[in-house]
Amino acid sequence: MKILKIIFPLILAVVAVTSCGSRATDNKNKQSDDSQKRAVITITTDEFVKKVADFKSNSQEWKYLGDKPAILDFYADWCVYCKKLSPVLEELAKEYQGKIYIYKIDTEKEREIAAAFGIRALPTLLFIPMNQDPQIAQGAVPKDELKKIIDSLLLK
């Protein structure tokens, strides 16, 4: 009986520790799966300079560096309209995957990019066609309007 009093709590402790460990692993796997499913690309200043435009070297002339048209979404985590626009952009990124890039730029973290583009209202969308000047839209643009812009400006 004395052995049972010692072994039983040990077994419970082992079960508790192993079950907690598997949950943590499951959560890590779920988080990495979620980030892989995302089609919208969050971009930093360093990535922006390499993939979109090198505004640091040449701030006077626009030269898009990408190989596909793009949409830049300037947002902030506290912005209500940005939060409403985010799932719409995610849907469009999946729908137009392989045809356009959709980049998200957190204006709170990437202040240098926001300043370079004079971003003062959120959300602000910058539409970048391949061989034309970019066009800008402010506010939460409805999905059907975004599709029209993508089809008529970015993919024409």
Selecting among 40, 70, 72, 82, the annotated active-site residue is: 82
Task: Answer yes or no: is pLDDT of 91 > 80.
Answer: yes
Give the pLDDT of residue 31. Answer: 39
Is residue 13 located within the same domain as residue 57? no
Is residue 129 located within the same domain as residue 145? yes
The pTM of the whole model exceeds 0.95 = no
Parent domain of 8:
1-37
Q: What would the mean pLDDT of 92-121 be, rounded to a whole number?
A: 96
Is residue 10 located within the same domain as residue 53? no
Number of domains in the chain: 2
Is residue 83 located within the same domain as residue 9? no
20 is catalytic: no
The chain-wide mean pLDDT, for the chain, equals: 82
Task: Answer yes or no: is pLDDT of 22 > 50.
Answer: no
Task: Answer yes or no: is pLDDT of 40 > 60.
Answer: yes
Selecting among 72, 79, 85, 125, the annotated active-site residue is: 79
Is residue 86 located within the same domain as residue 55? yes
79 is catalytic: yes
DSSP letter for each residue of the chain: -HHHHHHHHHHHHHHHHHHHHHHHHHHHHHHHHHHHH--SEE--HHHHHHHT--TTT-SSS-----SS-EEEEEE-TT-HHHHHHHHHHHHHHHHTTTT-EEEEEETTT-HHHHHHTT--SSSEEEEE-SSS--EEEES---HHHHHHHIIIII--
Give the pLDDT of residue 56. Answer: 86
